[in-house]
Every structure is written in C-alpha cells, then in structure tokens.
Chains A and B, each alone.
Chain A
C-alpha cells in the first residue's frame, strides 16, 4: 500500500478538479444575503436560464404555504419568499445539476481486488438527500429558537452527503469496494472509507465546499454532521449541523432513499436521544417530520428526480427496509453457521487436548496417537495412520491400525528409499503432487490390508517444519476419506494447528528426555571414571606408602629376624622355641608387607596359560597353606586351549578362594569347576563348599582389607582383598553367594582375552 498521506492528498487534489457550479449559482452566492440588494440583476441572471427558472419555481412552490400557484415568476418568488429562499433553491438546483451531469472518472487504475463491491444507487442517494433536506427544513421551521433559517437547513440537508458523491466521482472503483465493505461489515460508509481510502466523505465534502466557495454554515454541516455534538460545541453553526444530523437520522429510520451506510444508525431510542443531544424537542421533531414524505416527493419532482406517487415512495421505503432486514438476517445466519463451525472446531480441539494430555508422558508417540484419535472423530471411520520423522535423514515411524484406546497395533520403523521426498518436504509449502503420490504408494505397501495408494491422502500435520533443532519433526496423517467439505476443512485447519503444536511439543519432550538420558549416562560414566580415578589414586598412594613401609619396616624386621635366628641356634629348649616364634612373627609381618605391596603395585604379565596346570598349582598351594589335603574335587575339561592371562596372579586368587573354602569347615568335598572361555570370552572358576557359610556382615565386608571372621590367630584378611585386586586386573569380578549353615559358592569371573591366546598358541 502506497504512503497513506500521499494517497489522501492525491484524492483531495482530484476533488479540486471537479466541475464548478454554474455561473448563476456563483453570482447568487456572491450577492450573499444583502437585504438591500438590487433584485433586478439576480432575476435577470436566473431568467436567462429557462431550465433553471422552471426548477427554481418548482422548488419554491409549497402547497401548505398557501402560496402555491402564485409564485409564477422569479421576481415574484424573490419578493414573496425572500432572497435567501431563492438563493437556497438556486444552490440546490445548481449543485444537483453539476453533480448529476458529472460522469465518474474512468482513468482510475485497475484495482487488483474487484470482488465484494457494491454499486452506488444515485437515485436513492438523491432521494435520501432530498428527504434529509426536507426534514431539516421542517425541523428548522419548528425550532425557530435555534436561529436556523429553514432555507439554509434545506440546502445543508440536501448537500450533507456531498462528499460521498465526490469520492464516487474521483475513485469510482475504489468507492464500489468501500460500499461493498460497508455492506459486508454492516458498517457506516465512514468506517469503510477510512479503512480503504484513508479519507472519509466528510473531509472530501468539506474540500469541495471550499472549492466551490460555499458559505461556512453549509461547509460545517457537510463536514461535521457525523460528529458527536460535543465535538463542535464551539462552532457558530452547531445548530444547523445538529438539525442536519437529526434530519439524516430520521430519514434513515424511515428508510427514505439510500445513504450507503449500513451501521445501525443511532442508539435504540432512536432520533429522540439524538434530538436531546442537539437541543431539539422530540415532540416537535415528531410533528415536524409528519410531512417529510410529501415534501420529498414534491421536491424530487422539482429537481427532475423521477416521478413517484406517495404509495410508491412508501413501497420503496418498505422494500429498502425489507432488503436491509433480509440482508441482516442473511448475515446473522452466516455468522450463526460460522459460530457453529467454530463451536465444532473448538469441541474437536478440546477433545484432542484431553487425549493429548492423557498421553503427554508418552512423548511424540502419545501425541501422534491422540492426533489419530482426533482425526478419526472428525473424519469418521476408515483407514487412518500417521507417519512421523523426527528429523531429516532419520527413519520414519509408521503408526496404524489403532485400537479404540488410541494404541497402534502397527508401529514400525521404516527406512524409506532414498529417492523419496522427506516428510518434512511434504509438510513444506507447495510440495509437488508427484512427491506426495510416491510417498503414498510407498506407505500403502507398509499399511495393513490392501491399501489402495490412489485413494490414500497425506495430510501434513506439522506445516512448514523449521530448521530449528527441536522443530524439525515432520508428520503426515494418512487417510482414505474423500476430500472434506469446506466446513470440515475449516475444522481440520483449526485442528491441524493444534495437532502440530502437540506433535512438536511431543518431539521436544522426547528430545529433552533423550538429552536427559544422555546426561544421566554421561554422569554415570563420570562417576565411574571418578571412582576408578580415586581407586587408582588410592592404589598409587598405597604403592608409595607400602614401598616406603617395606623399606623402613623390613630393616628392623631383618635385625629382629636375624638376631632371633642366631639366638635360636645358640639356645636350647623353651628359649629356642621362643626365639623361633620371634622369627615366625617377623616373617609374618614381612609377608603382610609383601601382600600390601602386591595389592598396590602388582606385576601384571599376560601369557598363554594352561588352565588345568593353573588350577592344580592353586589347589596344591591352598592345601599346603591350610594343611587340609584331598578334599578338593576339580571338574572341567581335560585339555582346554591355553588362555592369555597372568597365571601367577590368577593362581594366587584361586588359591585364596580354595583355601577359604577348605577352612570353612565341614568334611564335604570342595567342588572346583572350571569353565573355559566360551564365545563370550568369559572364564569362570566356581568354588563350592558345604561349610559354615558366611553371615550377611561377612559377605558385605569380605573384600575389605584385614577383615576376617575366622577365629583370631588364623591368617589375616588380606587374602580376598588381594585376590579381588588380581581378578580386577583381568577385567573380572569375584561373586560370593552364601548363607550361614549353607556353605559358600565363590565365582571368579574373568574376561580373559582367550582368542588372542588361541592365536598365539596356533
């Protein structure tokens, strides 16, 4: 739209190009209301125009004044009616002539929107103007106290809507649209003019009044008659304007002529309220307008505006009123229909929201199920499905065959052929029909039953996916209904907007859930890494500490042990035994320190290892340590392939577990079953005893350093700690299953890289 102010200026300048008034009227207006004016020149001027003279005389005749036939010449009219009356009559005739003769401009640029126009009823317009003029004249006569001359009131009434004619002449096409808009919206012409043109007929009329040098009271009546009285309370012509406004309202109420306005003119109490606001007495107004019909007919005739009999005028008014009524009821009906449609759409949306809310925790799949349920309720029974793509280049999720609870019996991830358009592009603006048909054909092959691709419709439910990360999701509804009617279409449009929001919210919900899952697993990894780091750190410290301790403690221990040995060699009897006990204790301390060193910094060397030999070594060591022999039953394959591991560490761990089993008590054999690595690469040693079993507390602390439930004085509790450490070096674990009185099953579970051992062995 071009600059509004420039457009307005252009319109008003074109007003100035309109034809001027006839010389007669101009001269007459110049003479003004001089009481002592010489009548002769005026009469001469008027009589020089016979057509004008005839109309003037007709205008001056008014039966009720009793002058009637006596006004037969211009001079007589001037003498009897006064110069002002004649002036008014001349002006009326002149303006009417000027405007009637003027053809609308034809060089107005073609408008792109030629729909919704309405035509300008010229005759109706003039009839309305004349009726208003007559009413104003009567009002002025009945309210002499207002100081408005009836003739002036007549002219003002006649010309009050001059601006409409001006706009029509200047912009015929645009003004037809203005009239159409006013009719559609049931609005006043002023509203439509301001909306479409930016300038209303009041302003246009004022401009023409100035162009024609019309007297100021007339100009104000043209300009201000649509304004509330309060806004021009200071104007010297406010009474004239008020009379015109009331007269106009009366005529609209009586449906006299055509005004181009469609708004309900005044408040419900009608012109009465308006009368009061303009200082007019309602009862006088009512009395004054009783003759408006007759006056109007007569004046119309005088102006050559078609001959109508009183019944005809009434009939015309009635028709106009009926037409208006019909139009109103038609509009009401339309509104009722659209309200009904809106109601259905709102119901459908509300229903959808309930379903979507109940499935909110199911993310996008829940939203899609709600969409299908909603679509089923709107479109009726038939095939329904939905295809969803979280983002371009991702597989499609096809949901179909929904049960009454809205759960799909078919839920499939599809990898569409690469030549197919993405769902997002189908949802985009103006997707080619060919793409849609190809996608339909592809989906038909995946849907249950024999879906006919030519009858499948794909309805995008996430229009215009954005490139924004969380809104790239695209979904189309698959259905086989015939094209929906306009009313269903509008409900669908409303629903699609809602569906789209729900599906996108679901997609965002899923994305958020995925993110939080990733965050959680990252956190878990972090915690694990931290604990490993802490463990490694603890081990490193333990390593440094035990190395220092080994050096610092072992020196004095060497002296204790060595001296005790020397003593033992030189003593005899109980003293020698004491000395030997010192030696043993020192050796025990030394072995504890060695164990700690091994736990902290074990030497880890992988080598292909023969498992039966390893088991044999461990069992022998355990038997030697515990002094319990012959109770271990080894079960397992005779010659499994060698496995890559640190044989001495694993044997050490196994020895510990077997020794514990032997020391658990009871006489039942200890079963040691060897499970060489199968396809999963896991190597198991299972050691079962029928001994005393372990308490809950013992199980909990089994791997803690120096924890032991064995009677005091037996081997310390570093054994399982060290065993676990060795097993963990092989990415393994030790599991204990036990209950007091029911024996213990210990499982050493190693992730041994057996295949490498195979290769090395090969």
Chain B
C-alpha cells in the first residue's frame, strides 16, 4: 500500500491537486467547481492558491457520489465496546488477522462516547449490556449526532430477546450478532456493512 493516500487521508486541508487525487478527477475540474462555488474553500492570504478544508471536501464528494475510500484510507477503524477484557482481546485478535482494520476498544458507554469523538470509527461493535448504560441508549446518542450518521453499529449480546433485538434495530443498529459468534461470519458481516470486499486479499 503506498504512503500517498495515507498522507492524504491524514490531511485536514487540501490543495486542488490533492483534492483532484482524492476524488480521482482532474485538477481543472476541482478548480472549476471551486470557482463556481460548488466546492467551497479559501485562498491562502496574500496569494491566489486555493485551499479546501477536509469537511468541505467530504461534503462535496458525498454530494457527487464520489467514493471516500481514498480520503479515509484503506484501513477501517473499528471501535469495540465490551466490559469483558477477554472479549475485547478476542475481537482485536480476530479483526487484526487481516490488515484491513484498525481496532480500538472501550469498556464503558462513556469511554465509547469519548473514543467515537477522537477515533471516528467506521463501525462500532457494541455489547448490549454495558456496566453504565444500555446499548440502545448508546445507539440513540450516536444516531442523534449528524456527523456520525454513517457510522455502522453492530450489537453483540449473549441474551437473545426478539423484541429487544427489534428495538435495537429500530434505534438505528445495523446488525445484531449473538454471542458466541462465528469469527468468519462476523468479519464477512463487517466487510459487507462497510462496502468492502468480502475477504481480504491475501
């Protein structure tokens, strides 16, 4: 994997050339869009160099159905929330087997909220019964934040209750997985939710 896209993925402000690379279009197209106001940004004070902030670029890309892959990098960030350290470790090991995922963990609902802000995960694996807060509440909070509306949520629980599962899905969860789970099936489900290839290229 090259370092270029990774660098791009880390940047907060883009030049028109970088934006063209991220969007896989010509620089002229970016400049035209910038000048017409469809892509907003600013000029470097004292010069005419155009600069585009990351958020604005993402908005533009989404508005024009341009895949965000290049911008966000190949590794997807996954936050695992569970009060059982052994479970957390299992998830980390299971997801780390292919290089496509970057995994962080949290043991409480509060930690999960903090980690979501800083880590900006693509997907959260939530244990339904957290020590301080119930999964559906976490789910509702995440969904009430517009910036996180694209974050996928998978619930995991050892207790299956159909009505609770229904409530969770209604609250905005994308998937429910029962403990114990099949590791391969879990990975397949995550890849599917994130629009990735079903299996890593080995």
Contacts and interface: CB of A to CB of B under 8 A. Distances in A.
Interface of A: 547, 550-551, 553-563, 565-566, 569, 586-587, 590, 594, 597, 601, 603
A603 B86 CA distance: 31
A550 B163 contact: no
Contacts of B180: 554, 557-558, 560-562, 586-587, 590
Contact of B179 (A547, A555, A597, A601): A555
A597 B87 contact: no
Contact of A551 (B129, B162, B183): B129
Contacts of A550: 158-160
B129 A566 contact: no
Given A555-B84, A558-B87, A559-B86, A565 B182 contact: yes
Given A555-B84, A555-B87, A562 B160 contact: no
A566 B97 CA distance: 9
Nearest to B84: A555
10 contacts: A550-B159, A551-B158, A558-B181, A566-B93, A566-B94, A569-B97, A586-B180, A590-B180, A603-B161, A603-B162
**Nearest 5 pairs of A and B residues by beta carbon:** A554-B158, A561-B180, A558-B180, A558-B179, A562-B90
Nearest to B91: A562
Given A565-B182, A566-B183, A597-B160, A558 B129 contact: no
A391 to B, nearest CB: 55
Contact of B159 (A551, A565, A586): A551
Interface string B75-87: 0000000001011
B129 A594 contact: no
Contacts of A565: 94, 182-184
Contacts of A559: 84, 86-87, 90
Given A555-B158, A587-B180, 14 more contacts: A551-B159, A554-B158, A554-B179, A558-B90, A558-B179, A558-B180, A559-B86, A561-B180, A563-B90, A565-B94, A565-B182, A566-B183, A594-B160, A597-B159
A562 B186 CA distance: 11
Interface in B119-141: 129
A558 B156 CA distance: 11
A561 B91 CA distance: 12
A562 B185 CA distance: 11
A568 to B, nearest CB: 9
A175 B94 CA distance: 131
Contacts of B93: 566
Nearest to A562: B90
A562 B94 CA distance: 8
B27 to A, nearest CB: 46
Of A558, A561, A565, most B-chain CB atoms within 10 Å: A558
B163 A553 contact: no
A557 B179 contact: yes
A569 B178 CA distance: 21
Contacts of B94: 562, 565-566
A559 B157 CA distance: 13
B183 A558 contact: no
Contacts of A560: 180
A286 to B, nearest CB: 126
Contacts of B97: 566, 569
Given A562-B181, A565-B183, A565-B184, A556 B86 contact: yes
Nearest to B89: A559
A682 to B, nearest CB: 28
Nearest to A561: B180
Contacts of B161: 601, 603
Most B Cβ at <10 Å: residue of A561, A565, A587, A594: A565
B154 to A, nearest CB: 14
Contacts of A569: 97, 183
B6 to A, nearest CB: 28
Nearest to A546: B159
A560 to B, nearest CB: 7
Given A558-B180, A562-B183, A547 B159 contact: yes
Contacts of A556: 86
A622 B86 CA distance: 37
B117 to A, nearest CB: 27
A364 B163 CA distance: 61
A579 B184 CA distance: 15
Nearest to A557: B180
A556 B161 CA distance: 20
A561 B160 CA distance: 18
Nearest to B184: A565
A156 B112 CA distance: 139
Contacts of B158: 550-551, 553-555, 557-558
A326 to B, nearest CB: 110
B130 to A, nearest CB: 12
Contacts of B162: 603
A550 B159 CA distance: 6
Contacts of B160: 550, 594, 597
Contacts of B159: 547, 550-551, 554, 597
A38 to B, nearest CB: 143
A560 B157 CA distance: 15
Contacts of A587: 180
Contacts of B183: 562, 565-566, 569
A172 to B, nearest CB: 108
Contacts of A566: 90, 93-94, 97, 183
Contacts of A551: 129, 157-159
Nearest to B128: A551
A555 B181 CA distance: 10
Nearest to B86: A559
Contacts of A555: 84, 86-87, 158, 179
A702 B50 CA distance: 81
Contacts of A547: 159
A547 to B, nearest CB: 6
A569 B180 CA distance: 17
Interface in B143-186: 157-163, 178-184
A744 B19 CA distance: 76
A550 B157 CA distance: 9
Contacts of B90: 558-559, 562-563, 566
A593 to B, nearest CB: 8
A586 B183 CA distance: 14
Nearest to B159: A550
Interface string B179-196: 111111000000000000
Nearest to A605: B162
A547 B157 CA distance: 11
A563 B89 CA distance: 10
A442 to B, nearest CB: 66
A547 B158 CA distance: 9
Contacts of A586: 180
A219 B162 CA distance: 120
A565 to B, nearest CB: 4
Nearest to B93: A566
Contacts of A594: 160
A594 B129 CA distance: 17
Nearest to A556: B86
Contacts of A553: 158
B135 to A, nearest CB: 13
Contacts of B182: 565
A603 B87 contact: no
Contacts of B184: 565
A560 B180 CA distance: 9
A242 B179 CA distance: 127
Nearest to B127: A555
Contacts of A557: 158, 179-180
Tell which of B90, B93, B158, B163 has the most Cβ of chain A within 10 Å: B158
B78 to A, nearest CB: 15
Residue from the set A554, A555, A586, A587 with the largest chain B CB neighbour count within 10 Å: A555
B146 to A, nearest CB: 33
Interface string B84-121: 10110010011001000000000000000000000000
